[in-house]
């Protein structure tokens, strides 16, 4: 029995489809293959501008995903309504800006406490597990706990994008501190953004993390080795890092 969940984000299969306005490649097919490769969860981000995943994908994936469906979305009323209609197993609330290439920073829960609290309560009332995507910052973690989130996903982007060893070490330390704080206060803690086969080991070794959400690198790898193998190799890399950590 594995001590972690691998959520595979298949947004960029839809990015390829939308680039040409075709019906292929279909993220629904990608989800089947990802699950065959060992994905424990399928993650999709239905963005306000619908640049990749469409409501059609959400509707079909809700019916076909055999594991768990995690819907990333902005904390808006429109999206909350959609979540209620499709009932994903989990919602990850993320900040969203139209101009950004990808989710650039974590949610500012500390600053928007009341609005986020209301959104969390609404989704939880609908029997949906709610996670908040935040920077590895102690104030944000405490705020997420206060607003009643079931879990937080710590943004690993700053660690992944670090250009020097010193900055990378500092960012890794923030992730370690953040994960330990969550563990201490009883808040489930996940990791995601920018993770790939080259940078996963130190993050996967933080045993407090119980879930990893990885998209771009797995879809990129899938172009060369196929989706099933791309997922399986990431799953192996995480499992090996954790086994090694437990042995020392």
Task: Name the one range near ligand PXP by CB under 6 A: 28-36, 48-56, 179-187, 190-198.
Answer: 190-198
Cβ proximity to ligand PXP: between 32 and 214 the closer is 214
Buried b (16+ CB within 10 A) or exposed e, 39-67: bbbbbbbbbeeeebbbeebbeebeeebeb
Select the residue interacting with ligand PXP from 31, 214, 227, 241 (CB under 6 A): 214
Least Cα distance to 134 among 120, 30, 231 occurs for 120
C-alpha span between 46 and 60 (Å, rounded) = 13
What's 75's DSSP letter? S
Q: Is 178 in the site for ligand PXP (CB under 6 A)?
A: no
Residue 52: active-site member: no
In whole angstroms, how close is the CB of 135 to ligand PXP at the nearest point? 11
- Has 55 been annotated as catalytic? no
Report the run of H or E that residue 177 belongs to, with start and end: helix 165-185
For residues 208 and 175, the answer to whether their CB atoms sit within 8 Å is: no
Q: Among this protein's residues, is 99 annotated catalytic?
A: no
By C-beta, is 32 or 91 nearer to ligand PXP? 91
User: Residue 105 Cβ, how far from ligand PXP at the closest point, in Å?
Assistant: 10
Measured at the CA of 26, the angle between CA 44 and CA 223, to 5 degrees, comes to 90
- Relative to beta strand 129-134, strand 151-155 is parallel
* 36-95: contacts with ligand PXP (CB under 6 A): 45, 72, 92, 94
Closest CA to 75 of 104, 138, 118: 118
171 touches ligand PXP (CB under 6 A) = no
Size of the site for ligand PXP (CB under 6 A): 19
Indicate which residue of 12, 96, 193, 211 is catalytic: 193
- Catalogue the long-range contacts made by 1-4 (C-beta closer than 8 Å, 24 or more residues apart): 2/40, 2/239, 3/207, 3/210, 3/242, 4/204, 4/209, 4/210, 4/211, 4/212, 4/238, 4/239, 4/242
Looking only at residues 90 through 119 of this chain, which bind ligand PXP when binding is defined by CB under 6 A?
92, 94, 102-103
Contact between 13 and ligand PXP by CB under 6 A: the answer reads: no
Please tell me whether residue 195 binds ligand PXP under the rule CB under 6 A: yes
Catalytic residue among 72, 153, 171, 208: 72
CB–CB of 17/219 below 8 Å?
A: no
Least CB distance to ligand PXP at residue 203 (A): 12
**Closest CB to ligand PXP among residues 72, 208:** 72
Under the criterion CB under 6 A, does residue 25 sit at the interface with ligand PXP? no
Residues that bind ligand PXP (CB under 6 A): 9, 11, 45, 72, 92, 94, 102-103, 133, 153, 192-195, 213-217
Catalytic (active-site) positions: 45, 72, 193
């Amino acid at each position: 029995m594995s001590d972690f969940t691998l959520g595979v984000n298949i947004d960029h299969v839809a990015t390829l489809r939308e680039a040409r306005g075709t019906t292929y490649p279909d993220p629904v097919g990608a989800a089947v293959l990802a699950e065959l490769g060992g994905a424990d969860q399928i993650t999709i981000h239905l963005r306000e501008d619908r640049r990749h995943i469409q409501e059609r994908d959400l509707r079909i994936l809700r019916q076909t995903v055999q594991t768990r469906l995690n819907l990333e979305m902005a904390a808006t009323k429109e999206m909350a309504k959609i979540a209620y209609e499709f009932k994903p197993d989990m919602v990850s609330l993320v900040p969203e800006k139209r101009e950004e290439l990808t989710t650039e920073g974590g949610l500012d829960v500390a600053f928007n406490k009341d609005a986020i609290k209301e959104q969390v309560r609404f989704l939880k009332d609908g029997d949906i597990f709610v996670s908040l995507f935040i920077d590895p910052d102690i104030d944000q973690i405490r705020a997420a706990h206060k607003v009643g989130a079931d879990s937080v996903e710590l943004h690993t982007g700053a660690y992944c994008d670090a250009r020097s060893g010193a900055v990378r070490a500092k960012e890794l330390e923030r992730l370690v501190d953040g994960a330990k704080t969550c563990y201490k206060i009883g808040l489930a803690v996940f990791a995601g953004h920018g993770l790939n086969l080259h940078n996963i080991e130190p993050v996967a070794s933080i045993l407090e993390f119980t879930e990893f959400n990885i998209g771009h690198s797995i879809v990129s790898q899938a172009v060369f080795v196929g989706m099933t193998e791309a997922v399986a190799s990431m799953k192996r890399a995480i499992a090996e890092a954790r086994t090694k950590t437990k042995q020392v």
